[in-house]
Structure 1
Amino acid sequence: MQRRNTKQRTLILDIVRAHGDHPTAEDIYRDVHEQNPKVSRGTVYRNLNLLEETGDIISIEVPGGNRFDRRCDPHAHVICCSCSAVCDAMIEHDHALDDMVEKQTGYIITRHETLFYGLCPACQKRKAQGEDATETA
């Protein structure tokens, strides 16, 4: 089914693309609401799912809820185990892994994700200062 490109969907996509980080759906909703208070939270969430389905954005599953990424090219992410911050890891995507897994399992691999987990610099600093590293700034 062909979906029409609504003004709301275009606004949501523009906001995701404007983010240099990996915003949550709630972050995106707040930004959308600032520009158009008539757009509901449900509209934002529904359109984020549609934009992911169409390949315009990707989502990264993290504790506490998905983060959204404007980059759809294969790339790795680093996720903070404490505050769930997400950043891109600038390493080359290894397509050879797809072939290896296909040979081992018989699956046809359509994509793979590389995720690294650790403690972000802000949480490291809080931990070093004796603060609870699970608190966000």
Structure 2
Amino acid sequence: MQRRNTKQRTLILDIVRAHGDHPTAEDIYRDVHEQNPKVSRGTVYRNLNLLEETGDIISIEVPGGNRFDRRCDPHAHVICCSCGAVCDTMVEHDHTLDSMVERQTGYIITRHETLFYGICPSCQEKKAQNEDAQASA
């Protein structure tokens, strides 16, 4: 079934594409609401799901809720365990893992995601500043 492209859906897609930081649905709703206060939260969430179904965006399941990504090519992400920031990595996607897992499990693999967890540079800096402040006290 082909869905018509609505003004709201176009606005939502444009906002996701304008973000480089893997926004939450709530982040996207706030941006949409600033541009068009008549668009409801439900409309944003529903259209994010439709945009994911049509392959215009991807959703990344992370602790605290899904994040949305304008990049739809296979790529890895790194997630900060402290602040929850999500960013792309330059690690090349390993398609050979799909066939290896298929052989091991009998599943037909349609895709896989690679997520790395760590502490982002900003949180590392804050921690170091806190430690310095405590050592000075």
The corresponding residue for 2:113 is: 113
Deviation at 1:70, TM superposition (A): 0.3
In 2, the alpha carbon distance for the partners of 1:92 and 1:64 equals 26
Secondary structure of the 1:129 match is helix
Aligned length: 131
The corresponding residue for 1:70 is: 70
The corresponding residue for 2:80 is: 80
Share of identical aligned residues, percent?
92
Following TM superposition, where does structure 1 have runs of at least 4 consecutive aligned residues deviating by more than 6 angstroms? none
Deviation at 1:120, TM superposition (A): 0.6
Deviation at 1:2, TM superposition (A): 2.3
Structure showing the higher helix proportion among its residues: 2
Secondary structure of the 1:66 match is strand
Does residue 39 of structure 1 match 2:39?
Answer: yes
Per-residue CA distance 1:37-73 (angstroms, 9 max, x = gap):
1001111011111111111100111122111000000
Secondary structure of the 2:3 match is coil
In 1, the alpha carbon distance for the partners of 2:82 and 2:51 equals 28
The corresponding residue for 1:52 is: 52
Secondary structure of the 1:73 match is coil
After TM superposition, the score normalised by the length of structure 2 is 0.92
Give the unaligned 5+ runs of structure 1.
132-137
In 2, the alpha carbon distance for the partners of 1:10 and 1:101 equals 37
Q: C-alpha root-mean-square deviation of aligned residues, in Å? A: 1.1
Give the unaligned 5+ runs of structure 2.
132-137
After TM superposition, the score normalised by the length of structure 1 is 0.92
Higher-Rg member (1/2): 2
Does residue 91 of structure 1 match 2:91?
Answer: yes
The corresponding residue for 1:17 is: 17
Secondary structure of the 2:65 match is coil
